[in-house]
């Protein structure tokens, strides 16, 4: 049998699986920025979930091989958005964010399209009032949930507390909440004036602002409830989601449990859920 030599196949450039293109970047402070990227057509997620995203790491000094450097990031855009949005801290020596902070439109990032997380409506029992408690970049999942019609359909009132070090660190959240008023889709789907259900309570801890202090302290003293003109939490009506740094999450968990709330999960919906904000 005459076996013909197989013609040499020209090596195809290896395409990075699940690589997405950056469509916009906004810097808020020297510590915080947000960016948007294309969304894979196959990616389905529930508002409030997170995915792994990242960049290729530096080449290994011996083998020259590069490995992906991935971290968990809450998706800040809602489930209906045709693009994805993320909100990130910039850590000068952080393995990923020291590089990620330099991305610009047209660059590529790696995305593992396996969304997971507990800050989802499915993990909470029905209630009347929904609290979003955030510090720093912990606002990201709430940026998603605040653009999700179900949030306003399921609750009479949504209270957002956001504690940051400085006034500039509140900008992303403040602009997002302000932008809801003119969001055509939400006004159409939920009804004009839906945003009146929102009570926003921003506080700073290291720079002068109209309301200073940690939300935990402000709740313990009763000041936060008095400022907001609301009753303290009760397990019958209130549902809560927590996303911030570890110390904050733990302190607030204890406080919510003192109010009688119980931690829930996807498999066991209860009255509050918690997730750690991404830190590099
Ligand atoms: P503080 O400035 O008093 O530490 P970070 O940027 O370090 O993640 O912090 C974000 C915000 O969370 C800061 O305003 C910080 O206040 C606040 N914070 C840190 N730990 C706690 C905590 N245990 N309870 C409430 N707020 C906290």
Q: Are residues 101 and 132 in the same domain?
A: no
> What mean pLDDT comes out for the span 166-191?
97
Q: Are residues 145 and 215 in the same domain?
A: yes
Q: Are residues 22 and 91 in the same domain?
A: yes
Residue nearest to atom 18 of ligand 1 (CA): 248
How remote is the CA of residue 226 from the centroid of ligand 1, in Å? Answer: 22
Q: Are residues 75 and 174 in the same domain?
A: no
What average pLDDT is seen over the chain? 93
| CATH number for the domain that contains residue 58 | 2.40.30.10
Owning domain of residue 208: 121-274
**How much is the pLDDT for 12?**
42
Q: Are residues 130 and 259 in the same domain?
A: yes
Q: Are residues 172 and 270 in the same domain?
A: yes
Does the residue 3 lie in any domain?
A: no
Q: Are residues 91 and 155 in the same domain?
A: no
Q: Are residues 98 and 128 in the same domain?
A: no
Residue nearest to atom 12 of ligand 1 (CA): 135
> What mean pLDDT comes out for the span 61-81?
94
Domain boundary, last residue among 116, 133, 155: 116
Q: Are residues 216 and 102 in the same domain?
A: no
Contact 102, 108 (CB under 8 A): no
Q: Are residues 78 and 136 in the same domain?
A: no
Confidence of residue 250 (pLDDT cuts 50, 70, 90): very high
Q: Are residues 111 and 131 in the same domain?
A: no
d(CA 31, CA 238): 33
Q: Are residues 85 and 152 in the same domain?
A: no
Residue nearest to atom 16 of ligand 1 (CA): 205
Residue 164 Cβ < 6 Å to ligand 1: yes
Does the residue 225 lie in any domain?
A: yes
**How much is the pLDDT for 244?**
97
Domain boundary, last residue among 66, 93, 116: 116
How many separate domains does the chain show? 2
d(CA 255, CA 87): 27
Residue nearest to atom 22 of ligand 1 (CA): 248
Domain boundary, last residue among 49, 84, 116: 116
How remote is the CA of residue 90 from the centroid of ligand 1, in Å? Answer: 16
* Distance set, CA 157 to CA 48, 76, 163 (Å): 18, 21, 20
Does the residue 162 lie in any domain?
A: yes
pLDDT at residue 5 is higher than 60: no
Does the residue 1 lie in any domain?
A: no
Express each pLDDT in 100-140 by its tens digit.
999 999 999 999 999 999 999 999 999 999 999 999 999 99
Q: Which of 1-10, 130-139, 169-178, 226-235 has the lowest mean pLDDT?
A: 1-10
**How much is the pLDDT for 1?**
40
Does the residue 52 lie in any domain?
A: yes
> What mean pLDDT comes out for the span 245-273?
97
Does the residue 13 lie in any domain?
A: no
């Amino acid at each position: 049998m005459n076996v013909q030599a197989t013609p040499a196949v020209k090596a195809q450039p290896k395409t990075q699986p699940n690589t997405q293109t950056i469509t916009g970047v906004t810097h808020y402070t020297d510590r915080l920025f947000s960016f948007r990227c294309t969304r894979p057509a196959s990616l389905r997620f529930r508002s409030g979930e997170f995915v792994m995203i990242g960049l290729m790491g530096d080449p290994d000094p011996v083998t020259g091989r590069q490995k992906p450097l991935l971290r968990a990031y809450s998706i800040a855009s809602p489930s209906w958005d045709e693009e994805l949005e993320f909100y990130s801290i910039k850590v000068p020596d952080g393995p990923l964010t020291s590089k990620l902070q330099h991305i610009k439109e047209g660059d590529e990032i790696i995305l593992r399209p396996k969304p997971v997380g507990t800050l989802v409506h499915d993990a909470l029992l029905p209630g009347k009032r929904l609290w979003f408690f955030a510090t720093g970049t912990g606002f990201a999942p709430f940026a998603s949930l605040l653009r999700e019609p179900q949030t306003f359909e399921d609750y009479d009132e949504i209270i957002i507390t956001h504690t940051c070090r400085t006034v500039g660190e509140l900008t992303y959240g403040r602009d997002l909440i302000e932008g809801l008023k003119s969001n055509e889709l939400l006004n159409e789907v939920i009804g004009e004036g839906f945003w009146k259900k929102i009570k926003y309570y921003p506080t700073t801890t290291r720079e002068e602002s109209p309301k200073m202090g940690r939300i935990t302290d402000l709740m313990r003293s009763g000041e936060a409830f008095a400022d907001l003109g609301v009753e303290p939490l009760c397990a019958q009506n209130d549902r809560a989601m927590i996303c911030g740094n570890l110390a904050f999450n733990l302190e607030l968990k204890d406080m919510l449990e003192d109010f009688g709330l119980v931690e829930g999960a996807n498999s066991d919906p209860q009255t509050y859920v918690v997730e750690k904000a991404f830190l590099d």
